[in-house]
């Protein structure tokens, strides 16, 4: 296994010897948990563009990555924030992404996918009303269902700006849920992921906001498949999980505590819709295969070393986590470059990448250490680290 010289947190350089990639148990659905990976998009590095303004996508590599996730037994959560939705990828490009993924899914027996519908084509502003938000949500929901897709009802920046009270959230969500053809997954994305969503559900206190969200879900339970809560707080998730109507799933969005939340206990468990599942997909498949055999020991043995990796990828500012996801895809050969939509490869430091490399290796997730080390050396050279 190769040895590579990496920066340390102290600002020095030291050699790091890579380990052997881990062989994970074969994953064959159905699993005892629903597991959706929020998948990233692969940028087109050769397109003529202004990276901060344009979103040029390598469609072939992007769809190939979804097929890879499906091959490991995972479902795909499409056009979410991991794909830089509303953070470089606009609604026009998102529609193209959803359409192409739905087409690709037809060729994959048993493949599962749900797609984000929100209001990101409506710019928040003082002149935007709650009725404008409703129309924007309806437009996107109708577009996803017209393509034959299932809906993940994304949080709305425009609603966070326009709403004057929790009643406005109840009005909007009740209206949208009444019109959908199939039950949706409601996504409560916390402000650590998107600062524009501070005070969502009409309250800056998460527990008070939870009351509004639960009121909406209980009033419209037949139209809610589940709720994805992304607050990076396992205690809040468990409180909400225990208060959901029967048959409504809790999809953990907690990239810090997912292993324990998915394992659960005698009081319940969480299913999962996670951005970290994109880079750690082989481990997730193997862990869920172990859970299918009631082998909790192997489940935790596989996922335990991925948790420090995930906590590092999602460290504050959490909204930059997508950079670590794409970095891992590059290290593992799923794309030939480390270029991102919006130029977001620049949002993390070389020390951050060096530690990410170490943690990925310790989790057994560098599938070809020689290639990964060679690519890491390229990145170090670009940063002037010989």
pLDDT at 111 over 80: yes
B/e letters for 121-146, b = 16+ CB within 10 Å, e = fewer, are: ebebeeebebebbbebbbebbebbbe
- Per-residue pLDDT band at 185 (split at 50, 70, 90): very high
| Of residues 269 and 28, more confidently modeled | 269
Whether residue 10 lies inside any domain: the answer is no
pTM for this predicted structure: 0.96
189: CB partners within 8 A, 6+ apart = 81, 154, 155, 197, 200, 230, 253
Q: What is the DSSP string of 115-171?
A: EEE--TTS---TT--HHHHHHHHHHHHHHHHHTT--EEE---HHHHHH--SHHHHHH
Whether residue 64 lies inside any domain: the answer is yes
Task: Report how many domains make up the chain.
Answer: 1
Q: Quote the CA–CA distance of 197 and 188 in Å, as a whole number.
A: 9
Whether residue 323 lies inside any domain: the answer is yes
85: CB partners within 8 A, 6+ apart = 79, 94, 116, 118, 120, 154
Mean pLDDT calculated for residue range 13-24: 97
Whether residue 131 lies inside any domain: the answer is yes
Whether residue 24 lies inside any domain: the answer is no
Paired tokens of 169: 């959230």
Whether residue 210 lies inside any domain: the answer is yes
CATH (domain of 295) = 3.20.20.70
30: CB partners within 8 A, 6+ apart = none
Q: Quote the CA–CA distance of 195 and 151 in Å, as a whole number.
A: 23
- Per-residue pLDDT band at 346 (split at 50, 70, 90): very high
Residue 40's domain spans which residues? 30-348
Q: Quick one: pLDDT at residue 14?
A: 97
Whether residue 18 lies inside any domain: the answer is no
Q: Quick one: pLDDT at residue 28?
A: 84
Q: Tell me: the pLDDT tens digits for 203-248?
A: 999 999 999 999 999 999 999 999 999 999 999 999 999 999 999 9
Whether residue 23 lies inside any domain: the answer is no
Longest dimension (CA), the chain: 60
Rounded percentage of the chain residues whose pLDDT exceeds 90: 95
């Amino acid at each position: 296994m190769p040895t590579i010289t990496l920066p340390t947190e102290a600002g020095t350089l030291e050699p790091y010897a890579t380990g052997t990639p881990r062989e994970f148990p074969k994953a064959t659905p159905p699993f005892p948990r629903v597991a959706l990976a929020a998948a990233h998009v692969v940028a087109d590095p050769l397109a003529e563009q202004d990276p901060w303004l344009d979103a040029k996508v390598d469609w072939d590599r992007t769809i190939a990555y979804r097929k890879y996730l499906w091959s490991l037994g995972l479902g795909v959560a499409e056009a979410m924030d991991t794909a830089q939705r509303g953070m470089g990828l606009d609604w026009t490009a998102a529609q193209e992404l959803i359409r192409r993924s739905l087409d690709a899914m037809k060729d994959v027996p048993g493949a599962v996918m749900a797609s984000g519908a929100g209001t990101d084509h409506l710019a928040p502003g003082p002149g935007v009303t709650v009725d404008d938000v409703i129309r924007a949500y309806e437009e996107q929901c109708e577009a996803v269902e017209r393509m034959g897709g299932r809906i993940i009802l994304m949080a709305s920046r425009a609603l966070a700006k326009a709403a004057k009270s929790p009643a406005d959230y109840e009005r909007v969500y009740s209206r949208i849920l009444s019109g959908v053809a199939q039950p949706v997954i409601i996504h409560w994305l916390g402000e650590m992921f998107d600062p524009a969503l501070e005070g969502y559900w009409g309250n800056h206190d998460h527990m008070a906001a939870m009351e509004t969200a639960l009121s909406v879900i209980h009033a419209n339970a037949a139209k809610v498949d589940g709720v994805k809560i992304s607050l990076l707080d396992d205690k809040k998730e468990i409180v909400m999980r225990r208060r959901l109507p029967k048959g409504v799933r809790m999809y953990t969005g907690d990239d810090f505590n997912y292993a324990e939340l998915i394992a659960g206990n005698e009081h319940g468990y969480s299913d999962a819709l996670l951005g970290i599942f994109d880079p750690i997909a082989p481990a997730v498949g193997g862990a869920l295969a172990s859970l299918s055999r009631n082998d909790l020991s192997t489940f935790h043995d596989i996922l335990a070393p991925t948790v420090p990796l995930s906590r590092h990828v999602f460290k504050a500012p959490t909204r930059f986590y997508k950079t670590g996801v794409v970095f891992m895809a590059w290290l593992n050969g799923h794309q030939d470059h480390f270029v991102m939509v919006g130029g977001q490869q620049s949002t993390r430091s070389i020390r951050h990448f060096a530690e990410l490399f170490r943690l990925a290796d310790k989790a057994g997730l560098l599938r070809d250490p020689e290639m990964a080390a060679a690519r890491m050396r390229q990145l170090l050279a670009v940063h002037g680290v010989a």
